[in-house]
């Protein structure tokens, strides 16, 4: 059985998941959390961008890779808290996951160790709708839309 605790790591804490998910929704949830953890680990460690490639569509991976290349040694520290509010399975090929991501504990550092955190873009709570598509035998992230800032609770 999948629980919020079983999906959590030291730096990525799942605070809640919907109850009564069916098998497909559970598969989508696990794929989303895996994708989200892998991408957050890129920002935490400054390495491993290639690990995200099989978890995203080619277009989204290009966007991630370009963002990663612009980091210039910047890294993030802290804990991300994520509340998964809903998992929508539209059919066998498309789904969406609605989350609240609490980034208020995060701090960004440049390559020299200087705090470069921007409270406007990093340290907030974000309600995000993530679209997942079933491609090549796996659920992959294909789009993310921020719906609100500092209005949800994780």
Other Cβ atoms within 10 Å of 105 Cβ, number: 13
Model pLDDT for residues 140-154, shown as the tens digit of each residue? 999 999 999 999 988
Please compute the mean of the pLDDT values over residues 57-82 and round it to a whole number: 92
What pLDDT does residue 138 have? 96
In this predicted structure, the answer to whether residue 74 has a pLDDT above a threshold of 90 is: no
Please compute the mean of the pLDDT values over residues 78-103 and round it to a whole number: 96
In this predicted structure, the answer to whether residue 102 has a pLDDT above a threshold of 90 is: yes
How long a stretch of residues is the chain?
Answer: 154
What pLDDT does residue 58 have? 96
Whether the CB-CB separation of 132 and 26 falls below 8 Å is answered with: no
Query: Residue 7 burial (CB < 10 Å; 0-12/13-18/19+)?
Result: buried
H-helix or E-strand containing 125?
A: strand 125-135
| Angle (deg, nearest 10), helices 58-69 and 23-45 | 20
Model pLDDT for residues 19-39, shown as the tens digit of each residue? 999 999 999 999 999 999 999
H-helix or E-strand containing 142?
A: strand 138-149
Whether the CB-CB separation of 38 and 144 falls below 8 Å is answered with: no
Model pLDDT for residues 112-128, shown as the tens digit of each residue? 999 999 877 788 999 99
Domains of the chain from N-terminus onward: 4-149 (3.10.450.50)
**Residue 17: band (very low, low, confident or very high) from pLDDT cuts 50, 70, 90:** very high
Other Cβ atoms within 10 Å of 47 Cβ, number: 11
**Residue 71: band (very low, low, confident or very high) from pLDDT cuts 50, 70, 90:** confident
What is the secondary structure of 54-106 as a DSSP string? Answer: GGB-HHHHHHHHHHHHTSTT-EEES-EEEEEEEEEE-SSSEEEEEEEEE-TT-
Mean pLDDT of the chain, nearest integer: 94
């Amino acid at each position: 059985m999948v629980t919020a605790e079983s999906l959590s790591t030291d730096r990525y804490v799942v605070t809640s998941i919907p109850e009564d998910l069916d098998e497909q929704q559970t598969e989508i949830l696990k794929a989303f959390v895996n994708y989200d953890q892998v991408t957050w680990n890129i920002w935490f460690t400054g390495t491993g961008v290639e690990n995200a490639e099989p978890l995203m569509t080619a277009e989204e991976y290009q966007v991630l890779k370009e963002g990663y290349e612009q980091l210039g040694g910047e890294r993030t520290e802290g804990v991300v808290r994520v509340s998964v509010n809903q998992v929508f399975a539209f059919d066998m090929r498309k789904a969406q996951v609605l989350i609240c991501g609490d980034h208020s504990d995060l701090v960004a550092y440049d390559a020299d160790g200087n705090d470069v955190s921007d409270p406007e873009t990093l340290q907030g709570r974000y309600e995000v709708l993530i679209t997942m598509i079933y491609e090549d035998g796996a659920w992959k992230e294909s789009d993310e839309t921020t719906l609100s800032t500092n209005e949800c609770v994780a």
